[in-house]
Amino acid sequence: MVLCGENVSDYDMIEKTLSTFHPGNIVLQQQYRANGYTRYSKLMEVLLVAEQNNELVMMNHQTRPTGAAPFPEANVASSSQNNGRGRGRGYGRNRGRGRGRGRGRGQGKEYRPDDPTMKGI
């Protein structure tokens, strides 16, 4: 490649590109140098893919920032918290008809069929 009358090699372009990395990304710069790219086009391919991946990560972070509510569990069979005890509806305390007094024999009073005051109730 000729730039301003001078021949510019792939090596020069690679070095110029890697030397313009931000000081916070010095580790990335070293990793790209260690990969030993000989063609500038190949380095640019890799850098563009890395940039696209970084944009995707940032977009995902913006939709659900760190510390936000976690994603719901994917393989949960049921959302109820019964911990495997009981089945179906009406299981547990105070469900259905209940126990004790008031199960069809009078109006919540003790059932005594011999008591004449209880006739008609």
Mind listing the pLDDT tens digit for each residue in 29-76? 888 888 888 899 999 999 999 999 999 999 988 888 777 777 778 877
The burial of 44, by beta-carbon neighbours within 10 Å (0-12 exposed, 13-18 middle, 19 or more buried), is given as middle
- Residue range(s) defining the domain that contains residue 14: 2-63
Residue 42 belongs to some domain of the structure: yes
Residue 112 has pLDDT above 80, yes or no: no
What domain count does the chain have?
1
pTM over 0.75: no
Residue 58 within any structural domain of the chain: yes
Task: Tell me, yes or no, whether 16 lies in a domain.
Answer: yes
- Tell me the mean pLDDT in the region 11-24: 88
- Identify whether 112 is part of a domain: no
Domain assignment of residue 25, yes or no: yes
Identify the sign of the CA torsion 114, 115, 117, 121: negative
**Chain length of the chain:** 121
Does 7 map to a domain? yes
Assess if residue 121 is contained within a domain: no
What is the token pair recorded at 38? 């000989």
Rounded Cα distance between 105 and 44, Å, is: 87
Q: Are 38 and 10 in contact (CB under 8 A)?
A: yes
Band the pLDDT of 6: cuts 50, 70, 90: confident
> Looking at the domain assignment, is residue 23 inside a domain?
yes
